[in-house]
Amino acid sequence: MSENDEYISYLLSYIGETGNRVAFSKEETQAKIRLVNEMKKLGLDVYTDEAGNIYGLLYANNEKNDSDSMDVIGIGSHIDSVPGGGNFDGLVGILSGLAAIKTVKKEEIKENIAIIAFECEESSVFGKSCLGSKFISKQISIEKLRAITIVSSDFDDGFGLTYGEKLDECNKYLQLPLLNKIINFKTFYEPHIEQGPMLVDSNKKIGVISSIAAPIRVKFTLTGKGGHDGTVPMTSRRDALVGFNELYNIYRGLRHRMDINDRLRTNIGVVDIENASINRIPGKLSTTVSARGLDENLMNKFMEELISRVEVQLPDLNIEVHTERLEQGKPLNLNPKLVDKIRKNAEKYPTLEMWSGAGHDTVYMNKICKEGAAVFFIPNTGISHENSEYAKTEDITLACHILENLIKSE
């Protein structure tokens, strides 16, 4: 086992002790405390910002930079997971970055480096994704960010509280200084597990990503009328779950009629029945539908048609419909020069040209990087957002080696 393998194994057991790191949970806070400790051991200057993102700064030529602004190469990803998620989604980008820093800091590097752990990349707690990177890229103000409320009733550590309240609670444990300088990003690199089976199935080691799909997400709230399931006659019922069944049939039929196949990846992610009980007629429920792809026109056409049909057909069943647009993403084509740079630095490994169906913080960092941002993949078991998610230490080390080469080639 190489020195990098040993260090990454240690980081996985130390920082990634638990794979269930829901944003602002006790588990995520513990992981952040350990991450900060490790950054300080590496001699990095560690800061946070108003959104709770964590920065570990390594200065060019190992000489501290006290100026009001600095140009940096960014590396990182997120530390939070979905409920019951695995140990590698997001964390691989941070751990491989730390391992690369451990190596390159022994030399005189020409560029300042920032390792970043983004806050709240997953949408499972607040119903919105990539909140930390949206703040950095000025896509959301601190006032609006702090006011967002927890929407997941499965999050048992603060349902109904705001982002700001949970962040303040977390900061009591971290005790980090606020970032005191302007960071100008030259580039940003995000190593990541694939989250799908293509690398494993093709026996490839590195996924070279040229484009990133972006999601459109819509929430439907269906309101009928609840009641006792043994006393309300069938002819008098307004069962919200029957309304959902109609919505699902519209969704499935629309995919078939539009002959979408894999050009658009769609999902019904949540079905939340209000006050569900074994003997209660479902009176109200909410559900989310997402669509991802590289064809923005197809994404919009599918979702607009779905909304139109649901809003017309469900009232015929005496079910009220409220539609809320949660997210309107746009697919991103990455800077070809940056993609080619990754391709060349990974050329001694078996590579696969790919596009990413999952969104990443890279999408928002790309907006503020002078030369763009890029994500690249290493294989996992083909499963993500599950406890069975797994990536080999040796593959994380490959990501580390690519980062080292990218840093040295700047």
DSSP character string of 299-313: HHHHHHHHHHHHHHH
Cβ-count burial 46-57 (b if 16+ within 10 Å, e if not) = bbbbebbbbbbb
Average pLDDT over residues 147-168: 79
Average pLDDT over residues 358-362: 90
Distance CA 384, CA 199 (A): 13
Closest CA to 96 of 80, 117, 72, 71: 117
Distance CA 376, CA 189 (A): 8
User: Among the ranges 75-79, 153-157, 262-266, which has the highest mean pLDDT value?
Assistant: 75-79
- Give 319's pLDDT tier (boundaries 50, 70, 90): very high
Report long-range pairs for 90-93 (Cβ below 8 Å, ≥24 apart).
90/121, 90/192, 91/12, 91/15, 91/16, 92/191, 92/192, 92/193, 92/378, 92/391, 92/396, 92/399, 93/190, 93/191, 93/192, 93/399
Tokens of 156: 């048992």
Condensed to tens digits (0 to 9), the pLDDT of residues 122-139 reads 887 887 889 999 999 999
Average pLDDT over residues 298-310: 96
Distance CA 398, CA 4 (A): 10
Condensed to tens digits (0 to 9), the pLDDT of residues 38-61 reads 999 999 999 999 999 999 999 988
Which pLDDT value is given to residue 329? 82
Percent of the chain with pLDDT over 70: 98
Pick the CATH number of 215-328 from 3.30.70.360, 3.40.1710.10, 3.40.640.10, 2.40.170.20: 3.30.70.360
Sign of CA dihedral 203, 207, 213, 214: positive
Range with lowest mean pLDDT among 76-90, 211-225, 229-243:
76-90
- Give domain limits for the chain: 3-213+331-408, 215-328
Condensed to tens digits (0 to 9), the pLDDT of residues 379-410 reads 998 788 877 888 899 999 999 999 999 998 87
Judged against a pLDDT cut of 60, whether residue 7 lies above it is answered with: yes
Which pLDDT value is given to residue 106? 84
Global pTM reads 0.85
Q: Mean of the per-residue pLDDT values for the chain?
A: 91
Condensed to tens digits (0 to 9), the pLDDT of residues 11-30 reads 888 998 777 888 998 899 99
Q: Supply the DSSP symbol for 162.
A: B
Which pLDDT value is given to residue 155? 61
- Give 376's pLDDT tier (boundaries 50, 70, 90): very high
CB-hemisphere CA count at 13 Å for 256? 6
Checking phi first, is residue 81 left (phi over 0); if not, alpha (psi -120 to 50) or beta?
Answer: beta
- Give 151's pLDDT tier (boundaries 50, 70, 90): confident
Distance CA 251, CA 243 (A): 12
Which pLDDT value is given to residue 61? 80
Which pLDDT value is given to residue 3? 81
Judged against a pLDDT cut of 90, whether residue 187 lies above it is answered with: yes
Judged against a pLDDT cut of 60, whether residue 156 lies above it is answered with: no
Which pLDDT value is given to residue 157? 60
Which pLDDT value is given to residue 54? 98
**C-alpha 29 chain-centroid distance:** 17
Report the run of H or E that residue 360 belongs to, with start and end.
Answer: none
For domain 3-213+331-408, the CATH superfamily is: Zn peptidases (3.40.630.10)
Which pLDDT value is given to residue 158? 63
Strand 69-78 vs strand 332-333: parallel, antiparallel, or unpaired?
unpaired
Condensed to tens digits (0 to 9), the pLDDT of residues 72-119 reads 999 999 999 888 888 899 999 999 999 999 998 888 788 999 999 999
